[in-house]
Amino acid sequence: MPVDRTRRISRRRLGLVLAAIVVVLVAVNVATKFGPAGTGLVAGPLVAIGLLLLGRRAGLTWHDLGLAPHTLTRGIKYAAGAVLAVAVVYAIAAAIPATRPAFQDGRYDLHLSAVLQTAFVVIPFGTVLLEEIAFRGVLHGLVNRHRGAVWASVVSSALFGLWHILPSLRLAEANQAVGDAVGGGTTGQILAVAGAVGFTALAGLLLCELRRRSGSLLAAAALHWATNGMGLLVGAALATVRFA
């Protein structure tokens, strides 16, 4: 019978570790929003590495973190399926006039080189890497180890939703579909932020389930990138097309 070499930590220490992670994530969120351009691209990988070291120090195994080598093949299969599914959904949505405005987001009004850099560098390394390691890796792993899978999904997904408060402050203004749905002014901004928090929390639950089923963080990261990166690519492509 294999020996369990993992260890649990006290409730007090668990609370301190979780609080430290939240404080770090808040600091990164604020710095990315209000700091110099490119802050997230630099801070994201560094903080992700730091969180992994913290998770390991707290007793998490690579399996707890969703990074076990034996789950890589299964994770790749799930990742490929996730990217394909998003591509199909986005292609259909882009082809339908009623859903096409969802891709019109002023925050991504960029030149082609900037679009490609954002989709293939900024989003995967400045956004997806940190968020997946933080929320579906370390936070999920810690809570799952000490409180179980349900609590792990709920806590990490709720925090993932709150993480999107600052990035969504201009959502109603930048995204035509959202602006039309919630209106303008302060009320529209509040509704847009609340909607973004709720939507991303639900998305977090989906990502947690994908991570659970595949056993790999790679699957969740692929779906996360596809949702953001391919959305940007489709939006940029649509911006160059004239519709009758």
* pLDDT tens per residue across span 70-85: 999 999 999 999 999 9
Whether residue 160 contacts residue 201, with contact meaning beta carbons closer than 8 Å, is answered with yes
Residues 6+ apart with CB under 8 A from 219: 75, 78, 79, 82, 210, 211, 213
Proportion of the chain above pLDDT 90, given as a percent: 68
Task: Output the pLDDT for position 29.
Answer: 94
| Location of structure tokens 């940190």 | 130
pLDDT over 80 at 184, yes or no: no
Q: What phi-psi label fits residue 143: left (phi over 0), alpha (psi between -120 and 50 degrees) or beta?
A: alpha
* Average pLDDT of the chain, as a whole number: 90
Is residue 237 within 8 Å of residue 197, measured between CB atoms?
no
pLDDT at residue 161 above 80?
A: yes
Asked if residue 242 has pLDDT above 80, the reply is no
CA-to-CA separations, 165 to 13, 26, 81, 201, 204, in angstroms, rounded: 28, 11, 30, 11, 14
* Higher-confidence position of 88 and 10: 88
Residue 8 binned pLDDT confidence (cut-offs 50, 70, 90): low
Higher pLDDT, 125 or 37: 125
Contact 78, 216 (CB under 8 A): yes
Range 22-28 average pLDDT: 95
Percent of the chain with pLDDT over 70: 94
105 SS3 class: strand
Residue 103 pLDDT more than 90? no
The average pLDDT across 190-204 equals: 94
Specify the range with the lowest mean pLDDT, choosing from 43-47, 60-64, 97-101, 174-178.
174-178
Sign of the torsion angle spanned by Cα atoms 177, 180, 181, 187: positive
Q: What is the mean predicted confidence (pLDDT) over 46-62?
A: 95
Within 8 A by CB and 6+ apart from 229, the residues are: 119, 120, 123, 124
pLDDT computed for residue 5 by the predictor:
44
Taking the model in full, what pTM does it have?
0.89
| Helix (H/G/I), strand (E/B), else coil: 17 | helix
Task: Report the amino acid identity of residue 117.
Answer: Q
Is the pLDDT confidence value at 96 over 50?
A: yes
Closest Cα to residue 64, out of 152, 184, 186, 2?
152
